[in-house]
Amino acid sequence: MSLPAPVAEEFVEGNFLGLPEQGGTPDIVILQVPYELTTSYGQGTALGPSACIEASGQVELFDPILGEDLPAGYKIKTAEPWNGEGGNLRKQLDGISNYLAPWFDGHKFPVILGGEHGILPSIINAAGGHPLVNGDFSQLTLVQIDAHADLRQELNGEPFSHACAASRAMDFGLKHLYQVGIRAFSKHEYERIQSDDDVTTFFASDIHSSSNSSWGSWIETLTSIEGPVHLTIDIDGLDGSLVPATGTPVPGGLTFWQIIETIQELFSASKATVISMDVNEIVPQKDTPLTQFTAAMIATKGIIHHIDNRRNGKWADTSEDNNIQNNHVFDKNYFEKL
């Protein structure tokens, strides 16, 4: 299906938002991970990143927060996609980490497009090299927007299934996991949510309650987060009517503006630094680009708030900060050794 004319005046096919790249070191990098090995229902997430890139050409470049068109004086690079190499699941997970790791240098802001949510442990592994984490994962907070808790220990015998993404991320010893929009989970996952002090979950049913909504508490929680943060957005966290082509659409999810408010409040939290974000479980929609376009808009909002932070001095370039001695040695074969 052909799309309307792109928004960018100097449109470059294959680049996020169609923006031409400038020379020099990028400030923001778009990373595509077309990974799909453990999907358990709908298929097609491997095609999601490229579909999101294509749909992004229709996203308006102006936002009142910046007051001008993107890139607003900053350099946005769309990197070549992950090559998909690896003879088995664990080798592919290592390959994804190796692909991502160079971009976590403390200057660039990685925006990762997936691909199934099984990419999350690889992202966390790569984030260990960020100067603000420096191999100490107890400094890193994970904020998860999702329909599913993803806290299973295994699914169909596979501990690295997409249904286990949050569990495998927490295996690194993260500081805390905050989840919102959750409305599909197993008994085991529910029990962990109730008992694990390092997991805080805001269920969709409570957020949408007409008598006692917990949405205000979610926003207050975001503003109190401290230290480096990775934001992971499974687009099925949105209501299924907005993203019907995602791998496992679920009714009763978040509205688009609740996602945007979450992004806004997290990026503006006074003591937190969002070092990276991912938007995953994107599946191309056949009859309309609604799903991939929605994903592109969400990723763009993250970029806008990151640029706003740079402008306001809230993003400190730690890539060459002598006060931060980065001694973390990145393990290129981490998952294969497990």
**To the nearest whole number, what is the mean pLDDT of the chain?**
93
pLDDT of residue 332: 93
∠ CA 265-241-223, rounded to 5°: 10
Look at residue 328 and tell me whether its pLDDT is greater than 90. no
Q: Which residues contact 260 (CB under 8 A, 6 or more apart)?
A: 298, 301
- Give Cα separations from 214 to 179, 182, 183, 209, 219 (angstroms): 13, 13, 14, 8, 9
The whole-number average pLDDT for the span 147-152 is 97
pLDDT in tens, 81-135: 999 988 899 999 999 999 999 999 999 999 999 989 999 999 999 999 999 999 9
pLDDT 10s digits, 56-71 = 999 999 999 999 999 9
Q: Which two tokens stand for residue 244?
A: 């019907």
**Tens digit of pLDDT for each residue in 121-135?**
999 999 999 999 999
**What would the pLDDT profile of 213-252 be if each residue is shown by its tens digit?**
999 999 999 999 999 999 999 999 999 999 988 888 899 9
Q: Do the bridges between strand 68-69 and strand 62-63 make them parallel or antiparallel, or are there none, so unpaired?
A: antiparallel
d(Cα 85, Cα 236) in Å, to the nearest integer?
27
Does the pLDDT at position 335 exceed 80? yes
For 20-311, CATH number out of 1.10.10.10, 3.40.800.10, 3.30.420.480, 3.40.50.360 equals 3.40.800.10
Domain ranges for the chain:
20-311
pLDDT computed for residue 321 by the predictor: 77
Q: What is the distance between the alpha carbons of residues 294 and 236, in angstroms, rounded to a whole number?
A: 11
User: Which is higher by pLDDT, 10 or 206?
Assistant: 206
Question: Which pLDDT score, from 0 to 100, does residue 285 have?
Answer: 84
How many CA atoms lie less than 13 Å away from 26 in the CB half-sphere? 21
pLDDT of residue 267: 98
- What is the reported pLDDT for 327? 80
